């Protein structure tokens, strides 16, 4: 599933009537749109998956595509899934910002969501209704980009309810059978009428082969659309797994700002699906970090249509799911690492592995501290093998470690060993290695056998520029 990077591009207050609350909350949308349109760029020349004919034109001042970008993969239809995109108008320029997916009767769903204290209205809706239905009978998914509908109080929850009510009427199902997700600026109330008014039109645009357009429609500051696909076997029957994701900044564990929607045609019970998605989120989306900031809207939804013809599986540990489990983790890992590759302003993709720790949790905390250190990340941006900053980050993780046994490596090059600079340290070789676009850092802390790996990117001037201009 590894793909080669694409070529580098050139350089509510009390007492206020509801109508007034709505007007005040939605007013910033147009202003925000002026900035966000600069952050949108339509990817082109996908390998095996060209954009749909309805795909919008890129904004004039779009961000350049990440030099770490990978080509959008060939993603065949998943039996039972139909999708369509449209322009709801959350951005001023011409681009699709609305995605709708539909699923057949009997489909299952499961999800993992942000643990952020300020969860969004769409997250609240999905969590509540997945618990109510136990993941059974999901029929539709409605996603918008350009407005997060987070920190919007009761009006935000009402907007989600109206969207789901309208979708339920269109697709002949119950409100609770509709999942929703939003991404964009926090604190802006969703103008649900923009979505509701587009449903009659989008109903006539459904296709079973629109993955590339779907991935583009959910983008915000992303510079390329993200997709992954795999084929697995369940008891000798071929099943497919496909997923799309969005995310570029505000990416950190629990969960990684991101939305991800993964669909399989396998027949798997909701309980088993939930166990699988919860398990593999830990080693994928919860193992990447761009800037250490978590989002209010993080959502990962996994759907199973049951249309492959394979036997229905009711337990996540069923031996017949062995290949499926491996392939599902691969798809999630592919999508998660693409978030890092599209890190705002990123030029380096970095793998950090910590070994010799007392526990996995300890190793993970040390790795995350290294990955999120501004000093470490800026050193990578400057192509400086400053192993002293790595040592600094390890120490401030406040986890067990042995200073006099610790070692640090950049790729195969040993920078420090047994608490000292390595006798084989070669500045010229280190400098040459740091010019690579993909780097590996290994740290052994010398107190045990546990290990953990995380993925991150460098911190460049472009990150500051992108986020400094986000709303201005």
Choose, from 6, 114, 257, 456, the residue flagged as catalytic: 257
Going by the DSSP 8-state scheme, the letter that residue 382 receives in this structure is T
Q: Which helix (H) or strand (E) holds 242?
A: strand 237-246
Our answer to whether residue 296 is catalytic in this structure is: no
DSSP secondary structure string for all residues of 81-150: -EEEEE--SSSSSS---EEEEE--TT-EEEEEE---SS--HHHHHHHHHHHHHTTB---EEEEEES----
Question: What are the tokens at 311?
Answer: 């036997």
Please, are residues 420 and 331 in contact by the beta-carbon 8 Å criterion? no
Q: How far apart are CA 346 and CA 461, in angstroms?
A: 9
Dihedral of alpha carbons 408, 414, 415, 420, sign: positive
Question: What are the tokens at 132?
Answer: 């109510």
What's the length of the chain? 472
Dihedral of alpha carbons 175, 258, 127, 209, sign: positive
Question: What are the tokens at 247?
Answer: 């995310």
Q: So which residues are the catalytic ones?
A: 257
């Amino acid at each position: 599933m590894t793909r080669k990077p694409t070529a580098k591009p050139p350089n509510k207050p009390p007492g206020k009537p509801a109508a007034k609350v709505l007007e005040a909350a939605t007013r910033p949308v147009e202003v925000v749109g002026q900035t966000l349109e600069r952050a949108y760029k339509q990817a082109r020349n996908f390998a095996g998956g060209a954009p749909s004919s309805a795909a919008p034109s890129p904004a004039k001042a779009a961000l350049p595509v990440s030099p770490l970008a990978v080509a959008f993969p060939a993603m065949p239809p998943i039996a039972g899934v139909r999708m369509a995109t449209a322009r709801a108008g959350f951005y001023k320029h011409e681009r699709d910002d609305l995605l709708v997916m539909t699923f057949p009767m009997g489909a299952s769903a499961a999800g993992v969501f942000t643990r952020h204290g300020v969860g969004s209205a769409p997250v609240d809706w999905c969590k509540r209704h997945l618990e109510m239905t136990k993941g059974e009978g999901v029929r539709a998914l409605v996603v918008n980009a350009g407005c997060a509908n987070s920190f919007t109080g009761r009006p935000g929850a009402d907007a989600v309810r109206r969207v789901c009510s309208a979708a339920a009427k269109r697709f002949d199902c119950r409100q609770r059978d509709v999942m929703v997700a939003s991404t964009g600026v926090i604190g802006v109330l969703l103008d649900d009428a923009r979505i509701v008014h587009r449903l009659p039109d989008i109903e006539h645009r459904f296709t079973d082969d629109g993955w590339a357009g779907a991935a583009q429609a959910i983008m915000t500051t992303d510079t390329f659309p993200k997709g992954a696909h795999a084929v697995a076997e369940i008891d000798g029957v071929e099943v497919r797994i496909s997923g799309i994701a969005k995310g570029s900044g505000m990416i950190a564990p629990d969960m990684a700002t991101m939305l991800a929607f993964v669909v399989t045609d396998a027949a798997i019970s909701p309980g088993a699906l939930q166990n699988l998605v919860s398990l593999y989120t830990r080693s994928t989306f919860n193992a990447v970090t761009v800037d250490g900031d978590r989002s209010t809207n993080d959502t990962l939804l996994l759907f199973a249509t049951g249309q492959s013809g394979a036997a229905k599986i009711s337990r996540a540990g069923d031996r017949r799911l062995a290949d499926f489990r491996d392939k599902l983790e691969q798809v999630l890992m592919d999508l998660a690492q693409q978030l890092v590759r599209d890190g705002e302003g990123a030029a380096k993709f970095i793998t950090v592995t910590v070994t010799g720790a007392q526990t996995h949790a300890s190793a993970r905390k040390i790795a995350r501290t290294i990955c999120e250190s501004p000093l470490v990340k800026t050193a990578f941006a400057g192509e400086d093998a400053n192993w002293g900053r790595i040592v600094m980050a390890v120490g401030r993780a406040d986890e067990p470690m042995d200073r006099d046994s610790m070692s640090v490596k950049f790729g195969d090059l040993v920078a420090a060993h047994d608490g000292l600079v390595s006798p084989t340290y070669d500045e010229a070789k280190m400098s040459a290695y740091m010019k690579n676009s993909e780097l590996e850092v290994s740290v052994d802390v010398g107190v045990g056998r546990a290990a953990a790996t995380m993925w991150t990117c460098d911190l460049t001037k472009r990150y500051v520029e992108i986020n400094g201009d986000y709303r201005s």
